[in-house]
Structure 1
Amino acid sequence: MAAQSQIYAGAFADPVFQAQSVFRTLMDGFARPGTITSLAATASPPLPLGKASGAVALTLCDHDTPVWLSLALTKSAVPQWIAFHTGAPVTETKDDARFAFIEKGGAVPSFDQFALGTQEYPDRSTTLVIEVEALTGGSKLIAKGPGIKDETIVAPQGLPDPFLDFWTDNRAIFPRGIDLILTAGDAVLCLPRTTKLSAREA
């Protein structure tokens, strides 16, 4: 019974209003890459999916958006929770997914394993949602590109060691490529494929 209650509980209390609020926050985040924003509405999904990642799933996923989940999420009640509250099908094939979710500390595949879109339809790509330890306090990266005046510094904690290589390869195939949402607690940091990242010299 406890497992069943996990599946049915934890969604938005006011789905339309709260989903609209989260959507606006995410769109603003993609318009201003590297900005850390707290979500006004969060979810309480089954562990190990985090609150902000759960809110992203409730807002962006629907029956037309196949979802890929990391192994730990697949083995939890998360697939049933997402299916019940959003109708989104779960796929085992990364490049079929419109959205992909990885829990905090989970292994992050190289980004080229996901759907990268095509030259004609670059929007047919995966948006990758990764929960990290924190959105500040990590190794500093310089972010430049549309929506950023001059440059800004992003420093998430808990990114995989090859993250910068993954991102550089992703940026090189623009307009194709994935978009990235980093989450921690109730906060998000968005990085569209247009953003260029480089290591900041100590």
Structure 2
Amino acid sequence: MTAQDMISPGFSDPVFQSQAAFRALLAALSEPGTGQRVAAEIAPPEGLASATATALLTLADYETPVWLPAALRDGAAGAWLRFHCGATLVDDPAEAAFAVIDGAADAPKLSAFNPGTDQFPDRSTTVIVQVAGLEGGAAFTLSGPGVPGNRRIAPQGLRPGFTAELRENGALYPLGVDVVLTHGDGLIGLPRSTRIGEAR
């Protein structure tokens, strides 16, 4: 069996599925804290949630460097991304256009990724944070653009201090990274413009 035989399939209908996934990602980032689902029905490689793999299939290509934890980069997930997206996998988080991190892992911190520049704030890293669940964890509130009043979310499996990292990231606005939380086929967007508060 060749390495190519071991790589799971990507989209069966790339145009339709990528458009649907892009709409879900856009909705997640324009309405922070609202749960969205991607129904691409792909078999993600080991280590990537379905929503994570779908987002990367939709967004990543040969012009967008991707950072993965070493265990994923050197395993099936890295091979899958190189095969389906043609993406370059980078060692330095600051070089990544897209990144995937484990929400419970101690590193890398959000500050390790590219926050963009004054001239090109849109060239910052989009960080996909894989969590143990999108509900049932420690709660915090969101406010800002796209949030009427405030919105409460309670993802599971975020490392201690992660909400402080989100606040520090938000203080950089209009610079800073955009964050997408994923679990299974669900995702929640936390763009850099979102303000993070204590749960009420």
The amino acid of 2:28's aligned partner reads: G
Whole-angstrom distance in 2 between the partners of 1:80 and 1:112? 27
Partner residue in 2 for 1:75: 74
CA contact (8 A) 2:139 2:152 kept: yes
Partner residue in 2 for 1:6: 6
Partner residue in 2 for 1:18: 17
Q: Deviations over 1:127-160 (max 9, x none)?
A: 0011111101111101000000000001100111
Whole-angstrom distance in 2 between the partners of 1:86 and 1:96? 17
Unaligned runs of 5+ in 1: none
Task: Please state whether the residue corresponding to 1:123 is helix, strand or coil.
Answer: helix
CA contact (8 A) 1:73 1:102 kept: no
Partner residue in 2 for 1:156: 155
Displacement after TM superposition at 1:118 (Å): 0.8
Displacement after TM superposition at 1:109 (Å): 1.5
CA contact (8 A) 2:178 2:191 kept: yes
CA contact (8 A) 2:103 2:158 kept: no
Q: TM-score, normalized by length of structure 1? A: 0.94
The residue correspondences of 1:65-104 to structure 2 (distance < 5 A) are: 65-103=64-102
Task: Please state whether the residue corresponding to 1:151 is helix, strand or coil.
Answer: strand
Instruction: Check if 1:135 corresponds to 2:164.
Output: no
Displacement after TM superposition at 1:78 (Å): 1.2
Task: Please state whether the residue corresponding to 1:167 is helix, strand or coil.
Answer: helix
Task: Please state whether the residue corresponding to 1:166 is helix, strand or coil.
Answer: helix
Q: TM-score, normalized by length of structure 2? A: 0.95
Partner residue in 2 for 1:109: 108
Task: Please state whether the residue corresponding to 2:111 is helix, strand or coil.
Answer: helix
Q: Output the aligned Cα RMSD.
A: 1.5
Q: Deviations over 1:50-98 (max 9, x none)?
A: 1110001100001110000012212311111101101111111111100
Partner residue in 2 for 1:46: 45
CA contact (8 A) 1:43 1:52 kept: no
Displacement after TM superposition at 1:107 (Å): 4.2
Whole-angstrom distance in 2 between the partners of 1:108 and 1:23? 28
Instruction: Check if 1:184 corresponds to 2:183.
Output: yes
Task: Please state whether the residue corresponding to 2:123 is helix, strand or coil.
Answer: coil
How many residues in Structure 1 have an aligned counterpart in Structure 2? 200
Instruction: Check if 1:59 corresponds to 2:58.
Output: yes
Whole-angstrom distance in 2 between the partners of 1:29 and 1:37? 6
Task: Please state whether the residue corresponding to 1:25 is helix, strand or coil.
Answer: helix
CA contact (8 A) 2:101 2:108 kept: no
Bigger Cα displacement from structure 2, 66-75 vs 52-61: 66-75
Instruction: Check if 1:172 corresponds to 2:174.
Output: no
Task: Please state whether the residue corresponding to 2:122 is helix, strand or coil.
Answer: coil
Whole-angstrom distance in 1 between the partners of 2:155 and 2:26? 20
